[in-house]
Chains A and B, each alone.
Chain A
Amino acid sequence: MAGATGGVGAPGGPIVRLEGVGLHYRTANGDLLEAVRKADLEIVPGEFVSLIGPSGCGKTTILKLISNLLAPTQGRILVQGEPPSEAKRRRQFGFVFQDSVLLPWRTVMENATLLLEIVGIERDRMTSKVTELLGLVGLRGFEGRYPHELSGGMRQRVSMVRALSLDPAILLMDEPFGALDEMTRDRMNMELLRIWEATGTTIVFVTHSIPEAVFLSQRVVVMSARPGQIKEIVPIDLPRPRQVQVKDSVPFIGYTRRIRDLINGMGE
């Protein structure tokens, strides 16, 4: 399990732990806003967890709290048994955003090695590491291309390689395929599962798409808005490795219906 072994938490314990986490902040006009209320969540190493819910339910906020981009105003967060700031210092987080956010003046190779350059990895090791990852996502032969020469799906693969380049224990993905067309999205889902199985990384995945969440995840965290809170955590018990055909199966449709009802407030 790449990266995930670096933790100092109790063996077998959760890699991410949220205990009664809340976040309030003041808006520009002085109102106190509750972005997240009393969130409890445990994620075990190597797990694939999705966060789903309406806009403004705090999905992205949870990602930012886990990765120390935001600090909770209530409760406590532990990553590998330590405060998130510590895990961040040990570079345990990889990020993939909705847009690939590649640097347009850098080639595929140069974009993929950006973070390694910052950290100061020597060039040979950097190249071999990234070449391996580019092979994993099927971008061998595109090393010298620029982002504007690639399709949206390919750009997002480069973004995934960049996120994985430092062997993070936890990959935080914020609607990474939300801007892609449905066919590309399906293919990217399959690729992501393959990468997840190959690397053993823990993945926390934010999405708007119920079928996507069910298809990918071991557990789906259903959230509701105003204030953002965890409504229910639905374990997905579908066979692996998952194939696209599973989307037509009765249990799959059962899961999507249940989650849709939960989001629409009919799940109680």
Chain B
Amino acid sequence: MHARFLYPLGFGILATGLWEVLWRALRIPLWILPAPSGVMLKLYSMREYVWPHIRVTVIEVLAGFVIAFVLAITIAALVIFFEQLGWVLLPYIVIVRTIPILAIAPLLLMWFGFGLWPKIAVVILISFFPIVINAIRGLRSTDYRIMELMDSVSATRMQVFLKVRTRASLPLVFAGLKIAITSSVIGAVVGEFIGADTGLGYLIINASTRLDTELLFSAMVLLAALGLSLFGLVAAAERCFVFWGHQEST
């Protein structure tokens, strides 16, 4: 394995080992903090029970993220073609971003019911902003001399958009997607806190009311794994699409 992955993995194992040793040495009560070994055993013994909760959260995260992505890219493209639309929309995009999710969550429950949709709505609300802001910036990030060249052959705005802007925007679009995918996981969990009967967020609430710290930490471990994998997928897609490297200005 590559050192790039071995180093953080080694750090994780070391930290967990230290935690285990200290936990045993200091005799920390289980209701304050569980031991890593206990969390792992819990996870293993409850693997069948936990599985549907993982599935629901993954669906919420992916659905919300994909919808936010499509919406954000569409709006960013429209803003490039109709600048005034950007003037109208941008303040409201910022306002929507500043709405405390907890304040409107009960409303979302009323509007969309008790199922997946209010959670997906929260994910969209949270992950839309970083994608749209970075996509607009990316689509505008074209070298003015390329624009002069395109102008010298009377290129249409659509040609400039398709042949230059879309690809030139990718480094920034991916910067936005990386922020959005991790926010999406938080969004789904927050959505589940408000009212759910499945999902890792529900599991956390459930475990904490029963002071089942081992289950609580199990859910957090699963969330961490989910966040890391999704982030890794986005990063892999980035390496594939932005193969020329960010700093390349030519």
Report chain B residues within 8 Å CB of A99: 145, 249-250
| A67 and B152 form a contact (CB under 8 A) | yes
B16 adjacent to chain A (CB < 8 Å)? no
Chain B residue nearest to A110 in the complex (CB): B163
Q: Which of A51-70 contact B (CB under 8 A)?
A: 67, 69
Contact of B149 (CB < 8 Å), options: A101, A117, A148, A155: A101
In the bound complex, CA of A48 to CA of B243 (Å):
39
Inter-chain contacts of B154 with A (CB < 8 A) = 88-89, 91
How distant is B159 from chain A, measured CB to nearest CB, in Å? 6
Q: Is the CB of A118 within 8 A of B248?
A: no
Against A, the Cβ 8 Å flags (1 = close, 0 = not) of B109-147 are 000000000000000000000000000000000010110
Q: How far is the CA of A93 from the CA of B151 in the complex (A)?
A: 11
**A95 CB–B CB distance under 8 Å:** yes
How many Å lie between the Cα of A77 and that of B155 in the bound state?
24
Instruction: Tell me the residues in window 166-217 of chain B with beta carbons closer than 8 Å to chain A beta carbons.
Output: 167-168, 170
Contact call A101/B143, Cβ cutoff below 8 A:
yes
Residue A207, interface by CB 8 Å: no
- Cβ–Cβ contact B248 & A88, under 8 A: no
Considering the complex, give the chain A residue whose CB is closest to the CB of B166: A105
List A contacts of B168 (CB < 8 A). 103
Assess the B167–A105 pair: CB atoms within 8 A.
Answer: yes
Which residues of B are in contact with A by a Cβ distance under 8 Å? 143, 145-146, 148-155, 159, 163-164, 167-168, 170, 243-245, 248-250
Given the interface pairs A95-B152, A146-B244, the reply to whether A102 lies near B145 with Cβ below 8 Å is no
Q: Which residue of A lies closest to B247 (CB)?
A: A148
Q: Would you give the 0/1 interface string for A81-103, flagging 1 where the beta carbon is closer than 8 Å to chain B?
A: 00000001101010101011111
Closest CB of chain B to A166's CB: distance in Å? 7
B192, chain A: closest CB distance, angstroms: 40
Q: Residue A234 at the B interface, CB < 8 A?
A: no
A119 at the A/B interface (Cβ < 8 Å)? yes
A147 is an interface residue with CB less than 8 A from chain B: yes
Contact of A115 with B by CB under 8 A: yes
Please give the distance in Å from A149's CB to the nearest CB on chain B. Answer: 9
Contact B152 A104 (CB under 8 A): no
A103 x B153 contact (CB < 8 A)? no
